[in-house]
Amino acid sequence: MVVVVLLIVIVGVAVVAERAYGRTRVSQILARPDYYQGRIVIVTGEVSDSYSILNTGIMQINDGTGAIWVRKVGPVPAPGSRASVRGRVNTVLQIGPITAVGIEAL
């Protein structure tokens, strides 16, 4: 009984800590793009791809649950780097039931 209560407390603390830091899993955004549309999120993960042109760049962040593209003003980290981005979720492309979403860094 004590072990069960302790496990519930640990899980509860983990959920509260995640919400306190405001991090959102990429899989959550991809599963419910309409819900996250226009919302500000924080995504942390490994940069799996990145490109820069002049003063604008895009990077793909993979947090282990999925990958999402992020547009950012200024330089972007190199692939293999860890990054944390705060930004607004936007629909990039929608064709019928298929929706592609991305994040515009703030």
Q: CA-to-CA distance for 8 and 24, rounded, in angstroms? A: 22
Q: Does any domain span residue 63?
A: yes
Q: Is the pLDDT assigned to residue 93 strictly greater than 90?
A: no
Q: Is residue 80 part of a domain?
A: yes
Q: How many residues does the chain have?
A: 106
- Sign, CA torsion 84/88/92/98: positive
Number of domains in the chain: 1
Q: CATH no. for residue 61?
A: 2.40.50.140
Check whether 14 has a pLDDT greater than 60. no
Query: Do the domain assignments include residue 75?
Result: yes
CB 33, CB 94: distance < 8 Å: no
Q: What is the pLDDT of residues 16-73, one digit of tens each?
A: 444 445 799 999 999 999 999 999 999 999 999 999 998 899 999 999 999 999 999 9
With respect to residue 6, please indicate whether it lies within any of the assigned structural domains. Answer: no
Helix, strand or coil for residue 96?
A: coil
